[in-house]
Amino acid sequence: MQAHVLENQVLRYRSFGDPRKVLTLESSPLKPGPEHVLRVEMIYAPVNPSDLIPMTGAYSHLITLPMIAGYEGVGRVISAPPGMTRMLGRRVLPLRGAGTWQRYVDCDPAIAVPVPDDIPDTLAARAYINPLSAVCMLRNWPVCDRRIAVTGAGSSIAALLAQWAQADGAANVSGIYRSPQRRTWLEDLGVGPVSENDPASIEACARQADIVFDSVGGTLGSAILSAMRPGTEFVSYGLLSGQPVLPSPGARAAHRRFHLRDVLRNLSTPAWQESFSPLWPRLRAAKMPGVEIFPVEFWRDALDAFHTPGRRQKPLLEFNGVVA
């Protein structure tokens, strides 16, 4: 009797462009993995800006095509090297290796992050890029007794920055938002809402802020940076607008840039694992958006949901419901 061959399903892009046009769902027989890796069957992987923006070619100098999409998610170990069988059945974050938008991921055991038993799958899937970036930024730019503003305030990372800045003693936190549906959400978080459609309020917010964490860039980021006072800091960590920050020549605030990859580049393996220790308690207490789950075959619907204005749920791709 012929042995059943598992099929791997992979979302891959072979050129740059609109993710809906360049991504393809490919199936192929699952090959045996190297003996020294963990093989992880994925459960969920979120759709983040950091997943989609590279597909457009924004970071083409850092990417070698073809590329499997996805930078984070959670799965369960189904095979392990000799001496690591204790990992079998454990949930891990299989990070910093092959893309996570596939059913099976082979992962370096030293890099795989074990997930605490009380963390739900839907939260564990989102426990890396946004939370770790937020923690690192708040460590690099302490906020205690300082007035903080975040742009792109409807995003998951801005919500974490706002909540954790308050927990770290920020004097106040303002959130600059685009979709009107986000206003109530921000007020519930204790964040002062400022509409992107209100230039006067944006300028006033920029003038009183000590630190701005900007994920938008473009016209909005440039206007905020140009309005800030001397001795303040503008931290650019994203380009949701697709455009860089171009401050006026007279800008007086310090323009800082943050990229998580720069932090990871010099991080030892023990330090990498230890960096998650403070994350889990913060995530347990955080107010996070709900999720909407899409089987991987419906990845286009997940991308459409991601781009829906004012959406209140994070799209997650589901892999373990797929029939091999």
- Give pLDDT tens digits for 7-54: 899 999 999 999 999 999 999 999 888 889 999 999 999 999 889 989
Confidence (pLDDT) at 61: 87
DSSP tag of 54: G
Contact 80, 61 (CB under 8 A): no
Q: Is the pLDDT of residue 323 over 80?
A: no
Q: What is the pLDDT of residues 179-198, one digit of tens each?
A: 888 899 999 999 999 999 99
Average of pLDDT values for 203-229?
96
Q: How far apart are CA 231 and CA 88, in angstroms?
A: 52
Phi and psi (nearest 5°) for 187?
Answer: -60, -40
Q: How far apart are CA 42 and CA 296, in angstroms?
A: 11
Asked if the bond preceding 66 is cis, omega within 30° of 0, the reply is yes
Tell me the average pLDDT of the chain.
Answer: 93
Confidence (pLDDT) at 322: 41
Per-residue pLDDT band for 203 (boundaries 50, 70, 90) equals very high
Task: Give the list of residues 6+ apart from residue 322 with CB closer than 8 angstroms, or none.
Answer: 9, 103, 295, 296, 297
Q: Is the pLDDT of residue 2 over 60?
A: no
Q: How far apart are CA 300 and CA 283, in angstroms?
A: 29
Q: Is the pLDDT of residue 1 over 80?
A: no
Containing 238, the helix (H) or strand (E) segment is none
Average of pLDDT values for 236-265?
89
Confidence (pLDDT) at 181: 85
Contact 253, 272 (CB under 8 A): no
Q: Where are the alpha helices (DSSP H) in the chain?
A: 19-22, 49-52, 121-124, 129-140, 156-167, 182-188, 199-208, 218-227, 260-265, 269-274, 279-285, 299-306
The domains found in the chain, sorted by start residue, are 7-126+288-318 (3.90.180.10), 134-262 (3.40.50.720)
Phi and psi (nearest 5°) for 10?
Answer: -130, 135
Confidence (pLDDT) at 4: 60
0.75 surpassed by pTM: yes
Residue of higher predicted confidence among 247 and 230: 230
DSSP tag of 6: P
Confidence (pLDDT) at 321: 53
Percentage of the chain with pLDDT > 90?
Answer: 80
